[in-house]
Copies of this chain bind each other. A is one copy, B any other.
Amino acid sequence: MANLGPNIEQLIEAFRCLPGVGPKSAQRMTFHLLERNREGGERLAKSLTDALTNVHHCQQCRILSETELCNRCSDEQRRHDQLCIVEMPSDVLAIEQATHYQGQYFVLSGHLSPLDGIGPEALGIPLLIELFDKDSIKEVILATNPTVEGEATAHYLSQLAHARQIHVTRLAHGIPLGGELEYVDSGTLSHAFSGRESI
């Protein structure tokens, strides 16, 4: 990597902060922008600065938003008695695209992970408890990931909601559509088997 000059090397290093970008990809991105697409590079630098300046978190659901309340939280048409709790903002987009859910969201921005120092505070649980206490929520839908940490977080949240007599549901787990039994992992299969439904 010698002899490239400090600006180029800094840019390669800076690209590595992106998820899934290693040294080779970072170098390829750098050369591509500098050799072939300087306009795109300028646009990227400007968009990045604009977004970092203007994008903050919605004060109610904690999703990324350019206004104090995000579009969904300020939308009077949506139901205010359902609250879907997810780990990441991208989960909100996935649910919005795949379902007809019309309620509210709450983004944890992670999951409980005491070993990494991520406790209820970091996930905005105090804010969530305020929402619970407002009394307008009738159903909490837990949509954390089906990982060990996601399940632990869901369990913790369900206890908080139960203590306030709020109905709690969890996304159904089982064999994905189009999946073949032979290739489904044993955890999913055992979960799907014990959770079998009458038809």
A44-B15, A88-B35, A89-B35 known; A10-B50 Cβ under 8 A: yes
A51 in contact (CB, < 8 A): yes
A114 in contact (CB, < 8 A): no
Distance (whole angstroms) from the CB of A15 to the closest CB of chain B: 7
Interface residues in A, total, Cβ within 8 A: 57
A29 in contact (CB, < 8 A): yes
Q: Determine the chain B residues whose CB is within 8 A of the CB of A38 once the complex forms.
A: 52
Determine which of B20, B34, B72, B89 lies in contact with A52 in the assembled complex, contact meaning CB atoms within 8 Å.
B34
Query: Residue-by-residue, is A66-106 near B (CB-CB < 8 Å gives 1, otherwise 0)?
Result: 11001110000000000000001110010010000000000
Copies of this protein in the assembly total 2
A48 in contact (CB, < 8 A): yes
Q: Is the interface of A mostly helix, strand, loop or mixed?
A: helix
Distance (whole angstroms) from the CB of A86 to the closest CB of chain B: 12
* Contact between B51 and A90, CB atoms less than 8 A apart: no
Q: Determine the chain B residues whose CB is within 8 A of the CB of A66 once the complex forms.
A: 5-8
Q: Determine the chain B residues whose CB is within 8 A of the CB of A14 once the complex forms.
A: 40, 43-44, 46-48
A60 in contact (CB, < 8 A): no
* Contact between B27 and A90, CB atoms less than 8 A apart: yes
In the docked arrangement, what's the CA distance between A109 and B34, Å?
Answer: 11
Task: Please report A residues at the B interface, Cβ cutoff 8 Å.
Answer: 1-8, 10-11, 13-15, 17-20, 25, 27-35, 37-38, 40-52, 54-55, 64-67, 70-72, 88-90, 93, 96, 109
Instruction: Across the A-B interface, give the 8 residue pairs with the lowest CB-CB distance, nearest first.
Output: A17-B40, A14-B47, A5-B66, A45-B48, A14-B44, A11-B51, A11-B47, A7-B51
